Amino acid sequence: MMALDIQNGLALIGGELRASARLVIEDGKLVAVEDVTAQPADQVIDLKGGWLLPGFVDTQVNGGGGVLFNDQPSAAGVAAIAAAHAQFGTTALMPTLISDSVEAVAAALDAVDDAIAQGVAGVVGVHIEGPFINPARKGIHSEERLRLLDDATIALLTAKRRGVVMLTLAPELASAEQIAALAAAGVVLSAGHTNASYEQALHGFDHGITGVTHLFNAMTPLQHRAPGVVGAALDRDDVFCGLIVDGVHVAPAAVRLACRVKGADRLMLVTDAMPGVGNGGQPFMLDGRPIYVRDGKCTDAAGTLAGSGLDMASALRNTLAMTGLPVAQVSAMASATPAAYLGLAEHMGRLAVGQAADFVVLDAEMAVQQTWIGGTCRYSAASE
């Protein structure tokens, strides 16, 4: 058991901001929150006017630290990605496979299983983004990789796994029975890279799709006579929406509108991060094509967006700056809401008794100083 005193800043604990608190941690969980007393704690965190927030939960992480998950679908590759994102306050993530072969999908599922079995900190499941998407909205995904769902791939995706399995698919290219079968088996479904109409999107939501991958991007837009996937996602109060707030993927006005319509309990910040995150923004290869990183923007030679150079701490700062929302609300978008979407709300996403002791220490400018996962400090800026 460890007693950790938090002082001289603001800590978001149990959904409330506190100027000080003693966190009692045992077996990786927060077991009590007490007032600071004269009795010495095991450790003191001086926030120096900064913040302590629940650790960030990122449902879409293609890579980091120079590693692309597609290229290194192994426990070692997953560990490198997780370590890179821990520098930016991410305490739980879903390594994300960009559309690839069925064999690659199997390798990705096994890699995350292996990583969780080996105790790699911060890995809670795997996100398979395609290849069951619409070529008309493929974005950077290679068209030759795309395919339709079949019984064999559904069996692969629904096999028992150690972590959460999330799948992005185009709802118009899957039957209601296929969507329902995946959802019934516990696969977390998201509509993305889709050319669906408003009605087709609603049909998908009615049969088990609960989220939308990077709202606004790679989907039918909101038009006044054809609301599209964007309109369907905004119209349904029960649908979660991922949002890439990097100033490139979505305009600030659209970010503000999405926040007003969906609210903090259904809008979740995602990075869609590529290998340059935690690697100084170095260029990388994707399906044999060079991807260039300029000012955090990842594109191929033709200018097509290829993920992002965003990290979760930057997403938090950007959202605060663009919306003017309170820190507690934006923090929820980065932590509690994605945890709820993944079905992990009982275990993580809020710094509360009974939950994982996952939190991030930020300075007054919201730059990450420490990242704690399961009661262990996994990153400290002071040690760099």
CA atoms lying within 13 Å on the CB side of residue 216:
16
Tell me whether residue 217 is annotated as binding: yes
195 annotated ligand-binding residue? no
The reply to whether 225 sits in an annotated binding site is: yes
Nearest to 265 by CA among 319, 334, 359: 334
- Ligand-binding site membership of 140 (annotated): yes
Q: Is 193 annotated as a binding residue?
A: yes
Mark whether 235 is an active-site residue.
Answer: no
Give the contacts of 170 (CB within 8 A, at least 6 positions apart): 132, 133, 134, 137, 191, 192, 193, 194, 195, 196
103 is in an annotated binding site: no
Percent helix, strand, coil in the chain, to 5, is 30, 30, 40
Does the annotation flag 143 for ligand binding? no
Say if residue 365 carries a ligand binding annotation. Answer: no
Query: Residue 285: beta bridge partners?
Result: 290
- On whether 344 is known to bind a ligand per the annotation, the reply is no
Say if CB 239 and CB 233 are below 8 A apart. yes
Burial track 137-176 (b if 16+ CB lie within 10 A, e otherwise)? bbbbbbeebbeebeeebbeebbeebbbbbbbbbbbbbbee
Rounded (10°) CA dihedral 36, 39, 41, 46:
50
Which residue in 100, 246, 272, 311 is the catalytic one?
272
Residue 173 phi/psi, 5° resolution? Answer: -105, 10
DSSP state of 40: P
Contacts of residue 156, defined as CB under 8 A and 6 or more positions apart, other chains included, come to 102, 105, 106, 109
Does the annotation place 374 within a ligand binding site?
no
Q: Is the peptide bond before 131 cis (omega within 30 degrees of 0)?
A: yes
Is 307 one of the annotated binding-site residues? yes
| Residue set of the binding site for substrate | 140, 217-218, 225, 249, 305-307
Annotated binding site for Zn(2+): 129, 193, 214
Q: Which residues are annotated as a binding site?
A: 129, 140, 193, 214, 217-218, 225, 249, 305-307
Residues with a known catalytic role: 272
